[in-house]
């Protein structure tokens, strides 16, 4: 049976062939079509029930408000064919099948459409924050070269001997532990005799390329002194962690550079936005340098920089992130 309504065409003459999606109503003015999906035939027995799901296709409006007047008329039409109908779950799509809205209409409410609240879109994970750039502000490093001291066996070492060291003396014993490199600079490690202000001490120092170093033991590792002056020394070229450096401040009382726990690590700020990459880089530097420490349990602080400032008093000037090894 067909029902004609103003602005609405009811289409119930459906062949009884096989289950299909049938268009029941079409509104030319609003460009809306109503379908009941998977219906065997046009007889009410094949689709009538308390709940009749509807699929509504809009070729024009994308706003569910277009159903406010339309759906009550559809409900009234279906009620004439199916008296027990009481609920019309509906979904509104565009011509491509993209869902626009969904909801329900009930007989008790005059078939007025009640849209379901749109499901909250899952919050996009926050983009990793790239650490802000930090300017290099440390003043230029001292440029006076270290003094050279020659030993009786022909080796030489270098350090600074300032006015405050008057009356002090440094005794370097000969032996297999301390030897001359091919370039004549003292290398190796051992206890050194130090006299100062009438007191004697025997600190253990490691010599590398003629530089006396405290609290580290370079051994035969192929490391390089990147920069050295009366303020600090930068030790680098560790093949296990390229782009990482030990920072050793100069100790006038020892006439040596002594490590105090700072490791400088070059790393692009864009990479540092990823905590996993930071952890990986820190562990790489830690594994490379910790075996050199006289006290392996020394707490380390890793100062991340984009580029080593080896010409400044503080070579880590411009550090954009400091990481304590206890947190990694």
- Domains along the chain? 4-115 (3.30.300), 147-327 (no CATH)
How many residues would you count in the chain?
Answer: 328
Q: Please determine, for residue 288, whether its predicted confidence score (pLDDT) is greater than 50.
A: yes
Pairing mode, strands 301-305 and 262-266: parallel
281 CB-contact burial (10 Å; exposed 0-12 / middle 13-18 / buried 19+)? buried
Task: Note the pLDDT of residue 287.
Answer: 94
Task: Note the pLDDT of residue 151.
Answer: 85
Task: Note the pLDDT of residue 253.
Answer: 87
Dihedral, CA of residue 263, residue 268, residue 270 and residue 276, to nearest 10: -40
- Least Cα distance to 23 among 61, 79, 13 occurs for 13
Residue pLDDT, tens place only, 242-281: 999 999 999 998 899 999 999 999 999 999 999 999 999 9
Q: Please determine, for residue 66, whether its predicted confidence score (pLDDT) is greater than 50.
A: yes
How many other β-carbons are positioned within 10 Å of the β-carbon of residue 169? 11
Q: Regarding predicted confidence, which is higher, 272 or 25?
A: 272
Going from the C-alpha of 180 to that of each of 109, 176, 309, the distances in angstroms are: 100, 10, 31
For the chain, what is the mean pLDDT?
Answer: 86
Q: Please determine, for residue 226, whether its predicted confidence score (pLDDT) is greater than 90.
A: yes
Task: Note the pLDDT of residue 21.
Answer: 79
- Least Cα distance to 258 among 163, 308, 192 occurs for 192
Q: Please determine, for residue 13, whether its predicted confidence score (pLDDT) is greater than 70.
A: no
Let me know the angle formed at the C-alpha of 323 by 325 and 227, rounded to the nearest 5 degrees: 95
Q: What are phi and psi of 281, to 5 degrees?
A: -65, -40
Going from the C-alpha of 156 to that of each of 33, 115, 146, 167, 209, the distances in angstroms are: 96, 88, 12, 21, 9
Q: Regarding predicted confidence, which is higher, 191 or 247?
A: 247
Highest mean pLDDT among 73-87, 125-139, 284-298, 301-315: 301-315
Task: Note the pLDDT of residue 44.
Answer: 82
Let me know the angle formed at the C-alpha of 120 by 119 and 123, rounded to the nearest 5 degrees: 150
307 three-class SS: coil
> Which residues are paired to 207 by β-bridges?
188, 212
Task: Note the pLDDT of residue 5.
Answer: 42
Task: Note the pLDDT of residue 40.
Answer: 81
Lowest-confidence pick of 142-146, 153-157, 167-171: 167-171
CB 100 within 8 A of CB 83: no
Let me know the angle formed at the C-alpha of 128 by 127 and 130, rounded to the nearest 5 degrees: 125
Report pTM: 0.62
Q: Please determine, for residue 224, whether its predicted confidence score (pLDDT) is greater than 50.
A: yes
Task: Note the pLDDT of residue 8.
Answer: 52
Mapping DSSP onto H, E and C, the string for 140-188 reads ECCCCCCEEEECCCCCEEEECCCHHHCCCEEECCCECCEEECCCCEEEE
Task: Note the pLDDT of residue 236.
Answer: 95
312 three-class SS: strand
Q: Please determine, for residue 15, whether its predicted confidence score (pLDDT) is greater than 90.
A: no
When pLDDT is averaged across residues 49-67 and rounded to a whole number, the result is 93
Q: How confident is the model at residue 3 (pLDDT cuts 50, 70, 90)?
A: very low
Mapping DSSP onto H, E and C, the string for 205-227 reads EEEECCEEEECECCCCCCCEEEE
Task: Note the pLDDT of residue 146.
Answer: 92
Lowest-confidence pick of 42-51, 194-203, 288-297: 194-203
Task: Note the pLDDT of residue 216.
Answer: 94
């Amino acid at each position: 049976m067909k029902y004609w309504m103003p602005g609405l065409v009811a289409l119930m003459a459906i062949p009884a062939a096989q289950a299909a999606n049938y268009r029941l109503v079409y509104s030319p003015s609003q460009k809306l079509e109503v379908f009941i999906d998977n219906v065997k035939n046009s007889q009410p027995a094949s689709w009538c029930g308390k709940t009749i799901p509807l699929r509504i296709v809009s070729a024009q409006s994308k706003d569910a408000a277009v159903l406010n007047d339309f759906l009550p008329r559809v409900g009234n039409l279906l009620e004439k064919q199916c008296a027990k109908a009481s609920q019309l779950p509906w979904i509104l799509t565009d011509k491509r099948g993209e869902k626009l809205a969904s909801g329900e209409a009930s007989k008790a409410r005059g078939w007025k459409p009640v849209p379901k609240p749109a499901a909250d879109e899952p919050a996009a994970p926050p983009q990793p924050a790239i650490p802000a750039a930090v300017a290099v502000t440390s003043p230029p490093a001292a440029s006076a070269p270290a003094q050279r001291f020659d030993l009786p066996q022909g080796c030489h070492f270098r350090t600074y001997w300032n006015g405050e060291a008057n009356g002090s003396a440094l005794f370097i014993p000969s032996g297999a532990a301390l030897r001359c490199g091919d370039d004549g600079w003292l290398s190796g490690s051992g206890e050194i005799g130090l006299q100062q202000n009438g007191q004697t001490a025997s600190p253990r120092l490691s010599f590398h390329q003629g530089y006396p170093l405290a609290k580290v033991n370079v051994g035969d590792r192929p490391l390089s002194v990147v920069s050295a002056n009366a303020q600090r020394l930068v030790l680098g070229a560790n093949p296990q962690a390229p782009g990482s450096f030990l920072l050793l401040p100069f100790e006038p009382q020892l006439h040596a550079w002594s490590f105090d726990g700072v490791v400088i690590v070059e790393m692009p700020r864009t990479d540092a936005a990823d905590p996993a990459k930071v952890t990986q880089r820190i562990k790489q530097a830690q594994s490379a340098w910790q075996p050199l420490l006289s006290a392996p349990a020394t707490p380390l602080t890793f100062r991340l920089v984009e580029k080593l400032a080896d010409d400044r008093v503080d070579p880590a000037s411009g550090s954009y992130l400091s990481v304590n090894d206890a947190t990694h």
